[in-house]
Chain A
Amino acid sequence: MSILPILVLALGTFAFRFGGVALRDRFTIPPRVRELLSTGAIVLLTALIATSTLTKGHGFAGWALPAGVAVAGLLAWRKAPFVVVVIVAAATTAVLRLAGVA
């Protein structure tokens, strides 16, 4: 990975931020567009969670990975501390792999 994609992302992101701050008096975004933007962010992140949990390359990732994510998700749902969620996710997957689950 080269520096170019990082620079493009950094400049584009800064343009969104600065554009909003600078244009605040001259521009209002319709509520519908605002809603689509915020939902779009959630949609992208959820899709990323789904694909990185269940797939590796073009196929199924195996059971150990989704099991670890599921246990961690349950803890996050029950409002467990962030550190606990992270450690339990890795530990569950690692133990399952150690036990021979792919």
Chain B
Amino acid sequence: MRSIWRTLDAGLWRGVLAIAAAAAVNGASFGAIAVAAGLPLWVPVVMSLLVFAGGSQYLVVGVVAAGGSPIAAVLGGLVLNARHLPFGLAVGEVVGNGWGARLLGSHLLIDESVAFAMAQSDRVRARAAYWACGGSLFIAWNVGVAAGALAGTLVDDPSKLGLDAVFPAVMLALVLPALKEAGKWRPALLGAAAALATTPFLPAGVPVLVALVGLLAVPRRADETDQPEAVTA
């Protein structure tokens, strides 16, 4: 195992540690928000260990905090995490071949570990980067969540401290880079508008799922638009 770590140069470790530090702060925010929303301390801690997918954890806590049903919350979380399937296909050979490596490695599959592995020039470095990034983030995220949740229990009135603004602000900071990619902001805005428009009428948590109509605005790929449109008129 030692030779794997030697293949990681100092620059790569610096990158991993910077992301891990950010994950710890992000985790602390998540823990504090979950407790501020009225959830018991164990919920964010256990959820972070078992699910280990920040976006879906925020989604579940956000929906439940808004009074939504756990079913809508979990459904949204699963839709969100469906992207891990193509990620797994993409980095599958990097994770390892034994069953132990595959089982443990699968749990460490997150946006960051996939991105780090895919940025490497060869397979040995990619494997080292995947495990270094995934492992570091797992530790940083869970320690951060536990610390944040503990700190959150000390706050008696979260809204007085503006803590309810932290959740959407954190999400916005995480989503902004992806929104700048081509073809992403139009579906996102359409979906957000649909969710806002239906919030007064639908049970909490459901409007976020309604937002998936925004996918209708995903631009068609070039190879599809090349085909002649069916004449209906």
Contact = CB atoms under 8 A, between A and B. Distances in A.
Contacts of A92: 162, 165
B211 A82 contact: no
A7 B78 CA distance: 12
Interface in B8-54: 22, 25-26, 29, 39-40, 43, 46-47, 50-53
Contact of B161 (A21, A27, A94): A94
Interface of B: 22, 25-26, 29, 39-40, 43, 46-47, 50-53, 55-56, 58-60, 62-64, 66-67, 70-71, 73-74, 76-93, 95, 102-103, 105-107, 109, 159-176, 178-179, 183-184, 187-189, 191-196, 199-201, 204, 207-212, 214-215, 218, 221, 224
Interface residues on A, range: 35 or more
- Consensus secondary structure, chain A interface: helix
Contacts of B166: 86, 89-90
B25 A64 contact: no
Contacts, number: 285
23 contacts: A9-B77, A13-B56, A13-B78, A18-B102, A20-B85, A21-B89, A21-B91, A42-B187, A43-B191, A44-B80, A44-B212, A47-B211, A48-B59, A48-B168, A49-B168, A49-B172, A51-B199, A58-B201, A73-B173, A82-B22, A85-B173, A89-B162, A89-B170
